[in-house]
C-alpha cells in the first residue's frame, strides 16, 4: 500500500519541475492546500443531502402548495397480477405479438392493454410537486454559492488579471475563503453524484454522470496541485447559468408561462455566451497559454487541461440541445405560446423538467384491427395517452 501511495502521489506527476511536497507543507507563515483537507467533503456531502431532504419537506413543499402545485401524480393503472408480472419481469414496452397474447389471455382489447402499460409507466414518474421541490433546492444552492463566489472573487486580483493565477505558482497560500468555496462545491457535487441514482431520471443520465465525475475530478486536481485560483473562476462561471435554468423549471411547474419563457431565454443567452464564449476565451486561454508561458507544462497540467477540454465538449453538446429546443419550439405555432421546457419528446434532456419517455405507441400498435374499434370507442374519454396527448406535467 505504501508503494501504491508513493506511486500515486509522485511529485513529478503532480508538481512542476524542482517542486516537492515538502515545499508545500503548512508553516506558521503560510497555509497550502493539502490532499487530506478533501476528506471533509465526504461527510459534508451526506450532511448536504440531509439538509436537502429537510429543505424539500419543510420549505419547498409549502411553497409549492402555496403556488397550487398538486402532489398527485399520473393516473394509476388498474391492478392486474398478470400484467404487473409482465411489466416487472419481462418488458415495460410489449410488442404487438405479446399484446395479442395478453389480449387473448385476459379477454381485453389491445388498446386497453396498451393504455394499462402506459399508465403503469407513468405511475413511476414523479409528481410535479416532487419536480418543483428538487428544482427549488438546486436553485437555492446555486444562488447561494454563486453569490458567495462573486462576492469573494471581486476582491481578488486574478478575477481581473488571469495571469495572477500563475504568478508565484505553486507557492500561493490557501485562504479561508478559497478553502470554504472548494469544500462546499466538492461536497455538493458529491451529493449530486450519488443522489443522481435516486432523483428524477433524465435521458442524459450518462452525460450528467460524466459531467459530475469531470467536475469532481477538476476540483480535486486543481486543489491538490494548488491551481485553486483558476479553479474558483471555473466554478463561479458554471454556477451562473444553473441559477436561471432551475428558476425557469420552477416557473414552468407553477404554470407561470411568460416568466418561464423569459427565464429560459435569459438562461439560453447566458449559457451559450458563458460556456462557448467566456469559458474558452477566459478560462482555457489562461490554463493552456498563460500558464504555459509563466509556469510551463508538467504531467498533471496536461490532465487538468484535458478535463477542462472535456468540459468544453459537454458545453457544446448542451448548447446544441438548447438551440435545437428553442428552434423547434419557435417553429411550432405562435411564438408567444411555446413552452421551451416541453418542446418535443425527442429532445428531452437536463434542460427540461424530466426525461419522460416517448409513450406514443408505434404506428402498427395504434390500431390493432377493426374488430376492436367498437370497444375502443368506449375508452375515448380516458385514452388520451394513445393519441399523443401531453403528459400531465406538460400543460
Q: What DSSP string describes 306-338?
A: HHHHHHHHHHHHHHHHHHHHHHHHHHSS-GGG-
**What does the pLDDT read at residue 170?**
93
**What does the pLDDT read at residue 374?**
41
Residue where the block lists cell 382489447: 109
**pLDDT of 395 over the 80 cut:** no
**What does the pLDDT read at residue 76?**
77
- Residue 7 within any structural domain of the chain: no
Q: Is the peptide bond prior to 170 cis by the omega test (within 30 degrees of 0)?
A: yes
Confidence of residue 370 (pLDDT cuts 50, 70, 90): very low
Examine the domain organization and report whether 105 and 150 are in the same domain: no
Distance from C-alpha of 364 to C-alpha of 102, rounded to nearest angstrom: 17
- Mean predicted confidence (pLDDT) in 70-89: 81
- Residue 299 within any structural domain of the chain: yes
Examine the domain organization and report whether 169 and 114 are in the same domain: no
Which cell goes with 355? 426525461
Please enumerate in sequence order all residues whose Cβ is within 8 A of that of 135, keeping only pairs 6 or more positions apart, or say none. Answer: 246, 249, 250, 253, 353
Confidence of residue 147 (pLDDT cuts 50, 70, 90): very high
**What does the pLDDT read at residue 206?**
83
Examine the domain organization and report whether 120 and 199 are in the same domain: no
Examine the domain organization and report whether 157 and 258 are in the same domain: yes
Distance from C-alpha of 336 to C-alpha of 354, rounded to nearest angstrom: 23
**What does the pLDDT read at residue 77?**
80
- Residue 1 within any structural domain of the chain: no
Distance from C-alpha of 190 to C-alpha of 46, rounded to nearest angstrom: 9
Examine the domain organization and report whether 174 and 314 are in the same domain: yes
- Mean predicted confidence (pLDDT) in 330-359: 46
- Residue 382 within any structural domain of the chain: no
**What does the pLDDT read at residue 205?**
80
**What does the pLDDT read at residue 336?**
44
**What does the pLDDT read at residue 208?**
81
Q: How many domains does the chain have?
A: 2
Helices 205-224 and 228-253, axial angle in degrees (round to 10): 150
Residue 82's SS3 state is helix
Write the DSSP string, 144-190.
Answer: HHHHHHHHHHTTSHHHH-GGGGTTTTT-PPPPHHHHHHHHHHHHHHH
**What does the pLDDT read at residue 391?**
32
Examine the domain organization and report whether 86 and 173 are in the same domain: no
Confidence of residue 203 (pLDDT cuts 50, 70, 90): low
Range of the domain at 133: 46-66+126-337
Confidence of residue 256 (pLDDT cuts 50, 70, 90): very high
Confidence of residue 345 (pLDDT cuts 50, 70, 90): very low
Confidence of residue 389 (pLDDT cuts 50, 70, 90): very low
**pLDDT of 167 over the 60 cut:** yes
- Mean predicted confidence (pLDDT) in 11-27: 92
Is the dihedral angle over the CA atoms 222, 225, 226, 230 positive or is it negative? negative
**pLDDT of 59 over the 50 cut:** yes
Which cell goes with 134? 428538487
- Mean predicted confidence (pLDDT) in 204-221: 86
**What does the pLDDT read at residue 337?**
47
Confidence of residue 339 (pLDDT cuts 50, 70, 90): low
**Who wins on pLDDT, 76 or 313?**
313
- Residue 278 within any structural domain of the chain: yes
**What does the pLDDT read at residue 70?**
78
Say how many C-beta atoms besides its own lie within 10 A of residue 99's C-beta. 19
**What does the pLDDT read at residue 62?**
95
Examine the domain organization and report whether 189 and 229 are in the same domain: yes
State the DSSP code for 9. T
Confidence of residue 119 (pLDDT cuts 50, 70, 90): confident
Average pLDDT, the chain: 83
**Who wins on pLDDT, 248 or 395?**
248
**pLDDT of 140 over the 90 cut:** yes
**What does the pLDDT read at residue 340?**
58
**Who wins on pLDDT, 178 or 336?**
178
Examine the domain organization and report whether 165 and 54 are in the same domain: yes
Distance from C-alpha of 187 to C-alpha of 45, rounded to nearest angstrom: 4
**Who wins on pLDDT, 104 or 181?**
181
- Mean predicted confidence (pLDDT) in 277-284: 96
**Who wins on pLDDT, 87 or 207?**
87
CATH number of the domain bearing residue 88 = 1.10.10.60
**pLDDT of 358 over the 90 cut:** no
**What does the pLDDT read at residue 325?**
84
Examine the domain organization and report whether 194 and 180 are in the same domain: yes
For residue range 224-255, list pLDDT tens digits in order: 999 999 999 999 999 999 999 999 999 999 99
Amino acid at each position: 500500500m505504501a508503494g501504491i501511495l508513493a506511486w500515486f502521489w509522485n511529485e513529478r506527476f503532480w508538481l512542476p519541475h524542482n517542486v516537492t511536497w515538502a515545499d508545500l507543507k503548512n508553516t506558521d507563515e503560510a497555509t497550502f492546500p493539502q490532499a487530506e483537507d478533501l476528506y471533509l467533503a465526504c461527510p459534508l456531502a451526506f450532511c448536504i443531502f440531509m439538509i436537502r431532504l429537510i429543505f424539500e419537506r419543510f420549505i419547498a413543499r409549502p411553497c409549492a402548495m402555496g403556488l397550487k402545485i398538486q402532489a398527485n401524480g399520473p393516473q394509476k393503472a388498474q391492478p392486474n397480477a398478470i400484467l404487473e408480472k409482465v411489466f416487472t419481469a419481462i418488458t415495460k414496452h410489449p410488442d404487438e405479438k405479446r399484446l395479442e397474447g395478453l389480449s387473448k389471455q385476459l379477454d381485453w382489447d389491445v388498446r386497453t392493454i396498451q393504455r394499462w402499460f402506459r399508465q403503469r409507466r407513468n405511475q413511476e414518474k414523479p409528481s410535479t410537486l416532487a419536480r418543483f421541490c428538487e428544482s427549488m433546492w438546486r436553485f437555492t444552492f446555486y444562488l447561494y454559492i454563486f453569490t458567495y463566489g462573486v462576492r469573494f472573487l471581486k476582491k481578488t486580483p486574478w478575477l481581473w488579471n488571469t495571469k495572477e493565477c500563475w504568478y508565484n505558482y505553486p507557492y500561493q497560500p490557501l485562504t479561508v475563503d478559497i478553502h470554504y468555496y472548494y469544500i462546499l462545491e466538492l461536497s455538493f457535487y458529491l451529493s449530486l453524484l450519488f443522489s443522481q441514482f435516486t432523483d428524477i431520471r433524465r435521458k442524459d443520465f450518462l452525460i450528467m454522470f460524466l459531467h459530475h465525475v469531470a467536475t469532481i475530478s477538476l476540483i480535486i486536481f486543481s486543489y491538490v496541485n494548488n491551481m485553486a485560483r483558476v479553479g474558483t473562476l471555473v466554478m463561479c462561471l458554471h454556477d451562473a447559468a444553473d441559477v436561471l435554468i432551475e428558476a425557469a423549471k420552477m416557473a414552468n411547474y407553477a404554470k407561470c408561462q411568460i416568466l418561464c419563457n423569459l427565464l429560459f431565454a435569459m438562461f439560453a443567452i447566458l449559457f451559450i455566451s458563458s460556456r462557448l464564449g467566456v469559458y474558452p476565451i477566459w478560462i482555457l486561454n489562461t490554463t493552456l497559454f498563460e500558464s504555459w508561458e509563466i509556469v510551463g507544462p508538467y504531467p498533471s497540467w496536461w490532465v487538468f487541461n484535458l478535463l477542462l477540454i472535456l468540459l468544453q465538449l459537454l458545453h457544446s453538446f448542451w448548447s446544441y440541445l438548447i438551440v435545437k429546443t428553442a428552434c423547434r419550439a419557435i417553429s411550432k405555432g405562435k411564438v408567444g405560446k411555446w413552452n421551451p421546457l416541453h418542446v418535443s419528446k425527442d429532445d428531452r434532456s437536463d434542460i427540461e423538467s424530466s426525461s419522460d419517455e416517448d409513450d406514443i405507441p408505434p404506428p402498427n400498435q395504434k390500431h390493432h384491427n377493426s374488430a376492436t374499434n367498437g370497444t375502443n370507442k368506449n375508452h375515448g374519454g380516458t385514452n388520451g395517452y394513445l393519441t399523443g396527448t401531453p403528459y400531465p406535467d406538460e400543460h
